[in-house]
Structure 1
Amino acid sequence: MTGATTATAAERRVNVLDPEFYVDPWDSYRWLRDEAPVFWDPAQKLWVVSRFQDVLAVEKDGARYSSFYGSRPHIDLREDQSMINMDDPDHQAQRNVVARRFTPRAVRSHEQHVRGLVSEILDAVTPLGECEAIESIASRLPAIVIGDLLGYPREMWERVRYWSEQIMLLSGKTSPDGPPHVTHPGLIPVIKDFIRTTAQIIEARRAEPRDDLISLWVTTPEWDTKRVLDETILVLDGGAETTRTVIGTMIRDLALYPEQRRLLRERPELLAHSAVEEFIRWVSPVLNMRRTATEDHELHGQHIREGDEILLLYPAANRDPRAFTDPDVLDVSRTSARHLAFGFGTHVCLGAHLARLEIRVMFEELLRRMPDWELVDPDEPAILPATFARAYDRIRIRFTPS
């Protein structure tokens, strides 16, 4: 259905539910954008959309491209009550319950708290001269921040981090002997532990609400425990793991592109003005999201049928030369980084402003306190194969102790 008579090497590699596809997908992304912008994946029987303007068009048209049937391929999530699997007006009504906690003004009020957390994290690391950056730096801040906002006790932050890491990783993996849409068996005990622990907090907040998100949800009429659990796991994953991925990847890539790090040290104002958006565009931590066609229609000459699944490839869109000048170049001074890493339209990431704050403050402090970090092994293979979120398993760095 691609119109090609002989499959290229890049085309043969396109299997968007194979975790190995996302380890080094850049040639395939380029082929998709140039040769098959609306591609029928014969292995997975769904459409793949890769160009910036096409992904944007799908995100804008919630009537034609529904989220109701689920955000993940081949899984019917109509029983899931989180807002990511809803269409408007139900989606917007549910989002509005906590939206005021994530406005730019509300997020700005957290800056002093976030900077204090970053200082604590770096206080433990800077005397060492070497560390594993994912474990020691990148994953700690977002897990603590989102755990606090949700209402988990601070002493549980490592458990919160474990849940988010495992759910995001294993949601994008499958049983070694099963088809791509079958849940990885390792996910089951993680979900059980999350449900058991969080249900206890939900009941405690019903009895005595506090100033946290779980309290807002449990005091909302008609919200039962399942709905609160579904929404909690969505915010937990979106708030912790994607920010971890951007921070960790940019610790690695600023060591690989020292001229960009040097520019940030010389012009630290770039972090607030352009660099954070470029980091997010460059990393694009969420690999894809599903929509379902609600009617027959044409897209780039391909006939999309009602009920067809469409997978939006955000990293491919964010490297589209039709939308960005030199998209495969990391440029912290880029002023046109209107990326799609947070989605667009009604389903744009609720925590986008919070993620920007955490990333900015983290790199302001890293560049001030340990500016000479370098990779212990630049060739260390550390990409985690997954089909939902791109992440590194480990990034070992060394630096001058302080």
Structure 2
Amino acid sequence: MTATETPYINLLDPQFYVDPWAAYRWLRENDPVHWDPIHKLWGISRYEDIVEVEKNWQDFTSEDGSRPATDQRDDTSMINRDDPEHQQQRMLVARQFTPRAVKQIEGKIRSIVNELIDEVAAKGSCEAIESLASPLPAILIGDKLGFPRELWPKLREWSEVTMHESGQNPADGSTAPFSELSMSAIMEFSGATIELINARRASPQDDLISIWATTEVDGRLWTDAEIISECLLLLDGGAETTRTVIGAVIRELALRPDQRAILIDDPSILGQTAVEEFIRWVTPILNMRRTATKDLEFRGKNIKKGDQLLLMYASANRDESVFDDPDSFDVNRSHNHHVAFGFGTHFCLGSSLARIEIRVMFEELLRRIP
């Protein structure tokens, strides 16, 4: 791909994301605000431009939905709201996800991780996603939401189905928001959540569903549908992102013995720089969407009211103007201000929990199975 060629880039084709790095580079260098004529949306590929859009929610709203080519205007979960409503919803539960709050459960996280490793050691081998990467975040999010332990395996199953069976937009531009399997999982999840909502309204506990079930906002209680939306957001966001990073990094460290050796020799690097590099390198949420609230010019392009903008976080995290040697996996990388967790008011609520899960997982894995 040369600078004089204008490649065909289908931003919603799953095949594009199999190996997008050369295309991302071309976009950053030649067409950083790129019009995708198939899906009629703008692809934003440079770090500074994504940050600018994220900061300016007045011109680039989340209210029409955070996922591309879908209509999410009826979904009132916090990810699809602008301030001040977004902050009002977020602050209800934010204290559960502060660095201090998640530090207090580090012992529990380490215990769960070691139980998972014990099971792997007893078997002698494992499928890393199935045995290590998937269970940990599902257990922790399930616990925070308030689901009983016996439902944690189902939460993991529901999360995996709703994330992977939601109907990717195919190359022809048509949309299929939910598969039959995904709808079935959502219905099962909703039924279990409603049971828990009713129980918590009668007898609140120290969990997130109790907060939503008993707190009034603007003079009324949250509806079941609103609580289900928030629960599904946290389940999918919390479980899928951490699962993806852990699984991908297990593979990367197997392929890069030099980087693995650095961490074995000095595990403190995990908490200093390595976890941030893991997250930058993987960028588990590849993109998010914003929608223009008015006609405007952005980086020399005429954006129309209602146009969708796809914020390509994975491209931003390889931006040469921000990161030295961005295509290198370096566990000692410093000044790693990636946007894998977004930026601004919608910065990932569970980022501190994700970081500690990833750190503890690799501290124990590299200690016990070096």
1:224-239 aligned within 5 A: 224-239=223-238
Partner of 1:34: 29
Per the alignment, residue 324 of structure 2 pairs with 325
Structure 1 stretch displaced more, 244-253 or 162-171: 162-171
Tell me, yes or no, if the aligned pair for 2:13 and 2:171 is still in contact at 8 Å. no
Check 1:370–1:251 CA distance in 2 against 1; reply closer, same or farther (3 A cut). Answer: same
Is 1:370–2:369 an aligned residue pair?
yes
Aligned runs of 1:330-369 on 2, under 5 Å? 330-369=329-368
Residue 179 of structure 1, CA deviation? 1.2
**2:265 is the alignment partner of 1:293:** no
Q: The residue matched to 1:327 in structure 2 has which SS?
A: coil
- What's the RMSD between the two structures over aligned residues? 1.6
Measured in 2, the distance between the counterparts of 1:144 and 1:198 equals 16
Q: How many residues align?
A: 364
Secondary structure (helix, strand or coil) at the match of 2:187 reads: helix
2:137 paired residue number: 142
Structure 1's consecutive aligned runs of 4 or more residues displaced over 3 angstroms after TM superposition are 174-178
How far has the Cα of 1:171 moved from its partner? 2.8
Deviates more, 1:74-83 or 1:32-41: 74-83
Distance 1:307 1:176, change over 3 A: closer
Identity within the alignment, %? 57
Number of the residue aligned with 1:314:
313
Instruction: Give the whole-Å Cα distance in 1 for the aligned partners of 2:272 and 2:174.
Output: 44
Mapped to 1, the partners of 2:154 and 2:34 lie a distance apart of: 40
Whether the 8 Å contact between 1:320 and 1:327 is mirrored in structure 2 is yes
Q: 1:195 is matched with which residue? A: 190
Distance 1:112 1:214 in 2: 23
User: Does the 8 Å contact 1:288/1:314 carry over to 2?
Assistant: yes
What are the within-5 Å matches in structure 2 for residues 130-279 of structure 1? 130-171=125-166, 173-174=168-169, 179-221=174-216, 222=220, 223-279=222-278
Counterpart-to-counterpart distance in 1, 2:22 and 2:199: 51
Amino acid corresponding to residue 273 of structure 1 in structure 2: Q
CA distance in 1, matches of 2:118, 2:29: 48
Shift of 1:57: 0.8
**Alignment partner of 1:120 is 2:115:** yes
CA displacement at 1:35 relative to structure 2: 1.2
5+ long unaligned stretches in structure 2: none
Q: Where in structure 1 are there 5+ consecutive unaligned residues?
A: 372-402
Deviation at 1:128, TM superposition (A): 2.8
CA gap 1:178/1:216 in 2 versus in 1, 3 angstroms: same
Could you tell me which of 20, 26, 36 is aligned with 1:25?
A: 20
TM-score between the two structures when normalised by the length of structure 1: 0.88
1:46 corresponds to which letter in structure 2?
L
Per-residue deviation, 1:180 = 2.7
Are the aligned partners of 1:99 and 1:350 in contact in 2 as well (CA < 8 Å)? yes
TM-superposed CA distance for 1:182, in Å, is: 3.9
- In the alignment, the residues of structure 1 paired with residue 232 and residue 73 of structure 2 have an alpha-carbon distance, to the nearest angstrom, of 16
Amino acid at match of 2:158: W
User: What is the alpha-carbon distance in structure 1 between the residues aligned to residue 164 and residue 178 of structure 2?
Assistant: 11
Q: Shift of residue 325 of structure 1?
A: 0.2
Pairwise CA distance, 1:129: 2.7
* Cα deviation 1:220-261 (Å, max 9, x = unaligned): 112111110010000111111100000000000011111001
User: Following TM superposition, by how much is the alpha carbon of 1:177 offset from its aligned partner in structure 2, in angstroms?
Assistant: 9.5
Find the residue that maps to 2:165 and give its secondary structure.
helix
Question: Which AA in structure 2 matches 1:326?
Answer: D
Query: How far does residue 175 in structure 1 lie from its aligned partner after superposition?
Result: 7.8
Shift of 1:174: 4.9
Matched residue, 1:84: 79
- Structure 2: distance between partners of 1:33 and 1:101: 37
Normalising by structure 2, report the TM-score: 0.95
Which has the larger share of helix? 2
1:173 Cα deviation from its structure 2 partner: 2.1
1:193-240 residue CA offsets vs partner (Å, 9 max, x unmatched):
111111111111111111110001001112111110010000111111
**Inter-partner Cα distance in structure 2 for 1:53 and 1:178:** 28
The residue matched to 1:127 in structure 2 has which SS?
helix
- Once the two structures are TM-superposed, the CA of residue 185 in structure 1 deviates from its matched residue by 3.1
Cα distance in structure 2, aligned partners of 1:18 and 1:196: 33
Determine if contact 1:174/1:183 at 8 Å carries over to the other structure: no
Show CA shifts across 1:242-281 (max 9, x none): 0000000000001111100100111111101000000000
Report deviation, 1:30: 1.2
Q: Distance in 2 between matches of 1:187 and 1:174?
A: 15
Residue 272 of structure 1 aligns with an amino acid whose one-letter code is G
- Pairwise CA distance, 1:187: 1.5
Find out whether 1:75 has 2:70 as its counterpart.
Answer: yes
